[in-house]
Amino acid sequence: MVLPLVLYGCETWSITLREECRMRVLENRTLRGIFGSKRDEVIGEWRKVHNEELNDLYSSPNIIWLIESRKMRWVGNVARRGKERCMQDFGGEN
C-alpha cells in the first residue's frame, strides 16, 4: 500500500542525489517498521536490522530502481506515440 502512494507520478520527477538518498532512507525506515527488531543470538539483546539484512528480507528491487524503470517505461510510451499524436495532444499544428 505504501509504494503506490510514494511513487505516484514518479515518471515525471527529476531526482537529485539528495532526494535519492532521502527516498532510500524512507524505504529503509518503512521496512524496519514492517520487519521490526532482531534479537542478536550472541548477546541476546534486541537491535535494529541493518540495511543489508533488510535487502535480504525484502527481495523486491529498491525504490530508486523502481523509479528509474517507470521513467523508462513512460519514455517508451511517449516515443511510440509519434510526433503527430504529440502535436495533437498539445494543440500544435502538424
Q: What is the pLDDT of residues 21-30, one digit of tens each?
A: 999 999 888 8
Q: What is the DSSP letter of 60?
A: S
Residue 17 has pLDDT above 90, yes or no: yes
Q: Which residue has the cell 502538424?
A: 94
Q: Where are the domains of the chain?
A: 15-89
Task: Please give the residue that has the higher pLDDT: either 17 or 38.
Answer: 17
- The pLDDT, as a whole number, for residue 39 is 80
- The pLDDT, as a whole number, for residue 70 is 92
Q: What is the pLDDT of residues 40-87, one digit of tens each?
A: 778 888 888 888 888 888 887 888 999 999 999 998 888 888 766 666
d(CA 15, CA 13): 6
On whether the CB atoms of residues 10 and 27 are closer than 8 A, the answer is: no
- The pLDDT, as a whole number, for residue 31 is 87
- The pLDDT, as a whole number, for residue 16 is 93
